[in-house]
Structure 1
């Protein structure tokens, strides 16, 4: 598989926004996400468009034969994010300081089209993204019952901090971090 990876900032990501949304629509068109308003394409589109202007926004795309087959995106974590603060003392003190110094990358989404999963592409996207980031630590949130993703993050070295909700209507997520890289 000759996959091509490319980095995009918020400006260049806007140029491929329809492709990004189409991947999301396919990946999340399964139970329990398909009928949940929190995971609707419109809701995701709103969150993605808002992310484009966040500090440190970046996406890494994976293309095969010029077709988008997966991507990861994230931003620099700001210490005032409600989900981050809701963890309170469950966050190691060093991470609280790192957040104050904007030294944490918040991996917001990692998606691979179903026909391309279980080939290591998610890990390649992840590693490509964080290898190019200036932040010293990575954090993410993973839906607690998304066992394949949850298990992968633990295998990749992530540590659990606690559970959060991004919004009252969202599911429960495990908040995780990857120590300095």
Structure 2
């Protein structure tokens, strides 16, 4: 495989790449052909919502076409993101969110054939290094949080458990929140 280059995209460039990013998302998560279109719409909605936030940032891995990307945005100062926190929000997370110093990693994906080459780590590090935040946060679906590859990456990249959010549906799975201090 050829060399993979990373580059930042503005929100307007991300909009131009939206269809390619949706293709990348489907391929990265292995959407079966019959479900690819069904999975595409929620991703495009999520991308549109994230890119509309102030401070949105996206890093694209390009190896003759998109092979991975990571994007995120600063958490809103009103702490609305943590309103469904199960239990007390950790003090550091609450204080840094109110101060506008938390960056949310919304998505990190790499095509299966390009995994285990350090591309995910490069995307992760490049995105977070440009955030200017003191703390990064990520919310993972319970199944994602338990996957062996995600657990290994999360640990080696310095993410620690901060708590859980209330399930979207009663009795449903609780999304997990992880944080990582950012060096300044």
- Alignment RMSD: 2.6
Q: Map 1:96-115 onto structure 2 (within 5 A).
A: 96-115=94-113
Q: Give the secondary-structure state (helix, strand or coil) at the position aligned to 2:143.
A: coil
Number of residue-to-residue matches in the alignment:
177
Partners of 1:51 and 1:138 in 2: CA distance: 16
Partners of 1:35 and 1:67 in 2: CA distance: 23
TM-score, length-normalised on structure 2?
A: 0.84
Partners of 1:49 and 1:14 in 2: CA distance: 8
Q: Per-residue deviation at 1:144?
A: 2.4
Q: Map 1:44-123 onto structure 2 (within 5 A).
A: 44-64=43-63, 66-80=64-78, 82-87=80-85, 90-123=88-121
Partners of 2:45 and 2:79 in 1: CA distance: 17
Partners of 1:88 and 1:78 in 2: CA distance: 19
1:84-142 Cα offsets, whole Å, 9 max, x none, are 22226543212211101111000000000011111111111000111111111100012
Partners of 2:141 and 2:47 in 1: CA distance: 18
The 3 A distance-change label for structure 1 pair 90 and 156 is farther
Q: Give the secondary-structure state (helix, strand or coil) at the position aligned to 2:52.
A: coil
The unaligned stretches of length 5 or more in structure 1 are none
Partners of 2:162 and 2:29 in 1: CA distance: 25
Other-structure match for 2:180? 178
Q: Per-residue deviation at 1:56?
A: 1.0
Q: Give the secondary-structure state (helix, strand or coil) at the position aligned to 1:87.
A: coil
